[in-house]
Amino acid sequence: MTNTDLKVNRPEPIKPGVEIRSFLQVTDIKETIDALLSGEYILIEDLYSNGLILLNELQSYLKNIHPNESFQEQREFRSEYRKLSNLILIQVKEHKLTVKKAPWIGWLEKLYPETNDFLLPFPQIQGLNSAWQWYNNGVIIPVIRNKVHPYYGVYFPTRFEHLQLFDNWLKRYEGPKKSAIDVGIGCGVLSLLLMKHGFQKSFGTDVNPNAIIGLKESMKGTKLSHKIEIDYGHLFGKWEKLTELIVFNPPWLPSSHDLDRLDEAIYYNDKLFPDFFVEAKKRLLPEGRIVLLFSNLGQITNVTKEHPIENELLNGGRFELDKCLKKSVKAASVKTKRNQHWRSTEEVELWVLKLK
């Protein structure tokens, strides 16, 4: 598949005609939750707020039967909630939600131009709505000059300590600035930082087609379209030339299930880091550097005992440590409903590696 043939990654529409129950304000909540537990679809009707009410009741039900204290328990709770909540549907006609007092979501027209009458899971509608606000209004990233406008389904940072580490490292970087490879470019923040600090060229890749589609759209007609080249592909994609700098902000947590494309920005599988280091060695100039942005989140939450970068340095035989910088993260927001006590010991990490 060429970049021009990319198919956008979007919530898959459900065609009308599936067996489905209606949910209105007068509908019995307990019966509806029992129906969800048995795998039945529920259609939100009349008011958009009915969907919010049902989701809230579903959360309350699950909290009563699932412990939700440890990091692992929270993952299990979210997995069950995700499965059941995606049985709650809402109808789209002529690119608008059919219920009253619903938000207008531009993605319904942009992502589904060929489809006029279909159903989507209510949580996916919520995600589309939030994503439209971010895309339309832009997101402020403190370390770069301009807002980013993340395309639907593309990871963008909501915490910035790791970006501050990278920004400060780039201020002190004295190596050549002819080119860099940005693995997993996402909405382009690392490449924008490279441009800010004088790099002539960045070659970005991403396995998420939406990242490529979104960046091409946002850079079209600007100088950045000549300075940041992008390719849809795993790890290094088609970029084979040697470079003086490779940057990678990988997922910070090991996966506990098969990944879909949206999860790949958050969780890594067993092959990601070994494959990255093998391919990185092939593309790094003798005096070049690799910069990885990571976190001790997996270790402090007891999800894993292994640190993939430390493991490479101990056992890989390819690279040695040039520098490791660490920064404590801010405490979790008082508004968050999750118990995130581990944030007091979380540190983001910037690892600089060089060839042995």
What is the full DSSP assignment across 154-193? ----S--HHHHHHHHHHHH--S--S-EEEES-TTSHHHHH
Domain co-membership, 227 together with 260: yes
Range of the domain at 237: 139-355
Domain co-membership, 89 together with 26: yes
150-to-218, 264, 328 alpha-carbon distances in Å:
9, 16, 26
pTM: 0.86
Report the relative pairing of strands 243-248 and 180-183 from DSSP bridges. Answer: parallel
pLDDT tens for each residue of the chain, 356 residues long: 456 689 999 999 987 777 899 999 999 999 999 999 999 999 999 999 999 999 999 999 998 877 766 767 777 788 889 999 999 999 999 999 999 999 999 999 999 998 888 999 999 999 999 999 999 999 999 999 889 999 999 989 988 999 999 999 999 999 999 999 999 999 999 999 999 999 999 999 999 999 999 999 999 999 999 999 999 999 999 999 999 999 999 998 887 654 344 444 578 888 999 999 999 999 999 999 999 999 988 888 777 888 999 999 999 999 999 999 999 987 654 454 544 555 578 899 999 999 99
Tally of CB atoms within 10 A around 309: 20
Domain co-membership, 176 together with 120: no
- Name 118's bridge partners: 92
Q: Which of 135, 164, 184 is the last residue of a domain?
A: 135
Domain count, the chain: 2
Domain co-membership, 131 together with 146: no
Domain co-membership, 27 together with 94: yes
H-type helices in 38-146, by residue range? Answer: 48-65, 71-85, 107-111, 122-137
Please tell me whether residue 265 adopts helix, strand or coil conformation.
helix
Domain co-membership, 251 together with 234: yes
Residues written for the chain:
356
Report the relative pairing of strands 202-206 and 284-295 from DSSP bridges. Answer: unpaired
Domain co-membership, 190 together with 290: yes
Rounded distance between C-alpha atoms, residue 248 and residue 183, angstroms: 5
Contact 200, 178 (CB under 8 A): yes
Q: Which of 135, 157, 187 is the last residue of a domain?
A: 135
Domain co-membership, 13 together with 87: yes
Q: Which of 106, 135, 164 is the last residue of a domain?
A: 135
Residue 139 phi, psi dihedral angles, 5° rounding: -120, 130
Domain co-membership, 123 together with 156: no
Domain co-membership, 126 together with 148: no
74-to-39, 67, 195 alpha-carbon distances in Å:
22, 8, 39
Rounded distance between C-alpha atoms, residue 125 and residue 145, angstroms: 31
Reading the block at residue 107, the tokens are 């993605």
pLDDT for res 52: 96
Domain co-membership, 183 together with 73: no
Domain of residue 279, CATH code: 3.40.50.150
Contact 149, 138 (CB under 8 A): yes
pLDDT for res 333: 47
Rounded distance between C-alpha atoms, residue 347 and residue 230, angstroms: 30
Domain co-membership, 158 together with 296: yes
